[in-house]
Amino acid sequence: MPWHRESSALLRVDPTALWTVVSDLSQWPRWCAGLAEAHVGSDASLVDLVPVGPVGAVHRRTAPPARVVVSVVPRRLVVEQPQPGGVCRVSWDLEPQDDGLVRFRQRVEVTGPLTVAAVRGLGLPLSRTFHDDVVRLHGLLAGQGGAPPAEDALTLVIAGGSGSLGRRLGSDLLCRGHDVVVLTRRVDPDLPLRQAKWDGRTVGPWVDVLHAPRRTAVVNLAGRLVDVRPTPANIASLRDSRVLSTLALVEASRRLPTPLASWVQASTTAIYGDAGEQRCDETTPLPTDRGQALPQMTGVARPWEEAFAGAHTDHGVILRTSLVLDRGAPVMQRLVDLTRVGLGGPIGDGRQWVSWIHIDDWLALARAALGLDPDLRVPSGVVIAASDHPVRNAELMATLGRRLHRPWAPPTPAVLARIGAVVLRTDPALALTGRHTTSAVLRGLGHTYRFPRLDEALADLLG
């Protein structure tokens, strides 16, 4: 079966400068982490590619050169790498927008009898790090004067920016012309964003990044992944990793001579606990009954939000985020893996509600909450980041199965889900509980989502 993966990003760059770099295939490995080498000979339409990893050595000895088959200056470039009985085709399209941005689209396609091997050897390396790659591409252009900052440029300090959501937000904002700094406990050499070390607990030298020459904003995404067993020690760790980091940021902000321009404080719709059939929005009181207000949900999220009180900022939004659907993100990857191995049936009775949001819609809300969208002014306070159309667990799993071309799968009884959670060292409540959450605030503002329905969201992410 043919395979393809399409990705796109908006960059504040000069279109001609972007074309100059992209069309120079000898520079491809400088911005694409999936390539180790690219050699252009006397014939500029031919390029010898060497992927990263062990397959690179084999590819170097056995593969013929890739060839430029389409070149429409300065809009479209298509490169084909022959494969046994097929081809790996990489297409780039440059589409200037009315607001001074350029949409850069990349499509990787693999066909032929050895599609699986070709995808693993070349297709995935060329596509899986796309959003980090465009940051490197933007950096090359900035060094050549082809990437001017945005007129309303902010210095964005992202705490917890090395996680999947933080990486996507950092990439999105930097490529739009903003200065991005990631606060992280461990500097990641593979993350192409400026990083500053902190311990996530105390005010230290990292506070210097808040003293920027331009307006400064904070996005706080710091916190341990929730995919752990709900033991008292783990619950305390989940809570502390969020509360202590938030308190440190709040204390740092209070030492600033002027308030921050804006602050987006992460939270979660899990704050409503196991809400059953209740319809929740920003006005819904938080649960107090222990049967609904689970300690690993409400017990973590409530003090997390309370720690934000007193932040020194002109504008502050607590973004209660639902399940973010993004290609390769940990939660979605687990759902995809279970579906692919035949465990994609409903979990428990399948009636628990799943609130969700496509990554593009979450990024749009984050930008609006930072004051970067002139068409959507998000007020200070709590805002729910979730599509207007939550689904039940059974519908989520059935839609995943259809999009991944998997046959019908039987339900997973609740008792087996609990046993499986022990084996996978996760929390069964993540799958067996649910909540129906939508945003009354955004409805009141007339906001619409790019991907309002689950099927179209998964079609975009999974093909």
pLDDT single digits (tens) 312-351: 999 999 999 999 999 988 889 989 999 999 989 999 999 9
The tens digit of pLDDT for each residue in 13-71 reads 999 999 999 999 999 999 999 999 999 989 999 999 999 988 898 889 999 999 999 99
240-280, pLDDT tens digit by residue? 999 999 999 999 999 999 999 999 999 999 999 999 999 99
pLDDT higher than 90, residue 1: no
Find the angle CA(145)-CA(367)-CA(177) to the nearest 5 degrees.
5
Domain ranges of the chain: 3-143, 155-462
Mean pLDDT over each residue of the chain, to the nearest integer: 95
pTM over 0.85: yes
The CATH architecture assigned to 155-462 reads: 3-Layer(aba) Sandwich (3.40)
Instruction: Tell me whether the CATH fold assigned to 3-143 matches the one assigned to 155-462.
Output: no
Q: What pLDDT, on the 0 to 100 scale, is given for residue 43?
A: 93
* The pLDDT of residue 463 is above 90: no
- List pLDDT tens digits, range 182-223: 999 999 999 999 999 999 999 999 999 999 888 999 999 999
Place 152 in a pLDDT band, splitting at 50, 70 and 90. Answer: confident
Radius of gyration of the chain (CA): 23
Q: What is the DSSP string of 171-183?
A: HHHHHTT-EEEEE
How many alpha carbons fall within 13 Å on the CB side of residue 345? 13
Share of the chain above pLDDT 90, in %: 89
Opening angle at CA 311, ends 308 and 314, nearest 5: 125
Class assignment of domain 3-143? alpha beta
Confidence (pLDDT) at 88: 95
Q: What is the pLDDT of residue 83?
A: 87
With beta carbons less than 8 A apart as the criterion, state whether 412 and 348 touch.
yes
Tally Cβ neighbours within 10 Å of residue 111. 17
The confidence score (pLDDT) of residue 290 equals 85
Terminal Cα-to-Cα distance of the chain (whole angstroms):
13
| 3-state SS string for 362-391 | HHHHHHHHCCCCCCCCCCCEEEEECCCCCE
CA 404/CA 205 separation, integer angstroms:
47
Residue 114: what pLDDT? 87
Q: Is the pLDDT of residue 85 over 90?
A: no
